[in-house]
Chain A
């Protein structure tokens, strides 16, 4: 089944403890992206990647890192999480870009930082 898989689905952590949210897609998509979804603010793009070893900042990159060493994986790293990073996170992929091909989204990761 074609899908984007995120792990974990739920995570509660403490301020400052490094964490990684994994994202993997099995569709050979070139484009991958991370979003956070917050009430009243909608979806905001954190980082995106147009292909392997090519990443760039989205609208809200502060406090996050990403890497794209392989085409299928695009992990999101929070080096020192803070409470304002409590949110619902989505990974998404697209064949060559969401402008024409649309996105396939993962099921989301609900992160709580205390």
Chain B
């Protein structure tokens, strides 16, 4: 079974600073994907970034980067130059690659960006 652990219920960051949101995972699948989603107060789930287990390089998407450490089973999200609009819940998730694509989510981290 797959499991995602997000140990930070809440995080605070000053505007324009960088912040790291932690995510560790547990899976027995040899091939898997790791995802980060943002959920603002409106409730929609916004896809941010994806990392495949066999990808050699860490994924980056604009201000988002994923610090993938396979041996440690961690997939931390780094947000650079935080903006007030980044305040939201952030969920890490995993899915089996080539499988049923069911996403398993962590409990989430609430990020608050202070002006």
Partners in one complex: no
Interface residues of A (CB under 8 A from B): none
